[in-house]
Structure 1
């Protein structure tokens, strides 16, 4: 390997091609996964892996896939694999299957990156830590290519992709101290992995201003913006409800803000 060159990244062949082809192949792979899971509770490895050329672009979000007629890497269509898997299982017990399939996928570079950037629920502190730690294990090969996420423009480096997709996690769990994206993710993931409820509460409160910046139509903004009000409402959550927001993901905090807004409107 030449100096400065990253180890190559390999992705499943079912993620490459024209949009209709990838749509068909991922659905077929999902059916295959569901059938095997139904038989013995395991998942098959992808039938073929292909090396991604250094600097080649990988699509990580459907918003960026605006040229269906071009053969490209469509990582975001792992979601189609999961839909096919549910179909094979007749949509029964999908939540535990979700968890097991994610655990299986996080053992690969492609699966680790998909689940970190797609941010499928749950986004608890514990789950997010596992997702980020998985990406960090495959950091070098993932650095070898470029990415498109939610905006159309120049392709992103891995650092830029992780800031775009997981910046909220770094802001909440490693707001100061570290400088590189890798170091901030590593520190943030370590803190998430060992977080107490109080740790998560403080991280959520740090992220509330960010969540509030996305909403313009709150009639009770002064109330829900008050950290004392936020702390009181968060402290009152049942353990399972608190766990769902414990990662301090902006999307989950927005949901809480609207819940509180609705509750205040009823009084």
Structure 2
């Protein structure tokens, strides 16, 4: 169930502070959520929430902000550590259900929707990514208030800038020449991605690859990796499970797949 939207943005208090304190609280909360799931089969929002005023800086990746003297701030990227403690004490056969239920819970909250859009954990299938981006769109208005520190040090992005930075190539792959507005382009992409066939995903992947090859100087077989015939052959040879992993045309996942093919080409 999606948490009711409020004009006031609140994030879990555990995400604000010095690095060590945030990590301790996040790991403890992960253990607490695991116990709650085993007892009730569900998750509830943390009791301690803090308001995020407009203009507040949210650190979305390690090293995006630098302090000579460390000071408390929002360290949203450290939410990743929740996953290292979430499975503690949970039977192995229950872990997949727990992880799926936890993602559903996260996507019902602004902080969880933001985290899963900025740092989406595997799997990154078209179906899963459409769900994550749809959640972000539901909270778009309230998430426009803060500013976001990401890969460009000491640069504070708007939400639009941040999503453009992360998803521009993916959005163009799904909806070439789409709306100028990132929000509208993302909404159109979600609509297409949600009802996509394998062939739709194949076409999106084929469209995103040239943009990835162009900007990554590490690839040694650039012409081959950009060849549609080679790509179709390799994509068709992937198992359904492996194809699903890249089916969203998410740039990081696709870059990793291209790197694997590049290494294979180097061995022949």
* TM-score, normalisation: structure 1: 0.90
Counterpart of 2:9 in structure 1 is: 9
Check the 8 A contact 1:64/1:149 in 2, yes or no: yes
Q: For 1:63 and 1:95, how far apart are their aligned partners in 2? A: 31
> Could you report, residue by residue, the CA deviation over 1:190-231 in whole angstroms, capped at 9, with x for unpaired residues?
111011111111110111112212443444333222111101
Does 91-100 or 35-44 show the bigger shift? 91-100
Counterpart of 1:98 in structure 2 is: 99
Counterpart of 2:42 in structure 1 is: 42
Does 37-46 or 227-236 show the bigger shift? 37-46
Q: For 2:204 and 2:211, how far apart are their aligned partners in 1? A: 12
Give the aligned length.
262
Counterpart of 1:235 in structure 2 is: 236
Does 74-83 or 189-198 show the bigger shift? 74-83
Q: For 1:228 and 1:155, how far apart are their aligned partners in 2? A: 41
Does 93-102 or 114-123 show the bigger shift? 93-102
Check the 8 A contact 1:63/1:151 in 2, yes or no: no
> Could you report, residue by residue, the CA deviation over 1:105-157 in whole angstroms, capped at 9, with x for unpaired residues?
00011100000001221111111111111011011110111111122133111
Aligned-residue Cα RMSD (Å) equals 2.1
Q: For 1:146 and 1:169, how far apart are their aligned partners in 2? A: 22
DSSP-derived class of the 1:62 partner: coil
Q: For 1:147 and 1:212, how far apart are their aligned partners in 2? A: 27
Q: For 1:266 and 1:57, how far apart are their aligned partners in 2? A: 46
* TM-score, normalisation: structure 2: 0.90
Q: For 2:23 and 2:220, how far apart are their aligned partners in 1? A: 43
Check the 8 A contact 2:213/2:219 in 1, yes or no: no
Q: For 1:92 and 1:15, how far apart are their aligned partners in 2? A: 30
> Could you report, residue by residue, the CA deviation over 1:207-257 in whole angstroms, capped at 9, with x for unpaired residues?
111221244344433322211110121122221111111001122222222
Q: Gaps spanning 5+ residues in structure 2: where?
A: 1-5
Residues 171 and 16 of structure 1, relative CA distance in 2, 3 Å threshold: same
Q: For 2:14 and 2:92, how far apart are their aligned partners in 1? A: 22
DSSP-derived class of the 1:64 partner: coil
Counterpart of 2:131 in structure 1 is: 130
Counterpart of 2:169 in structure 1 is: 168
DSSP-derived class of the 2:51 partner: strand
Q: For 2:54 and 2:132, how far apart are their aligned partners in 1? A: 24
Q: For 2:87 and 2:178, how far apart are their aligned partners in 1? A: 43
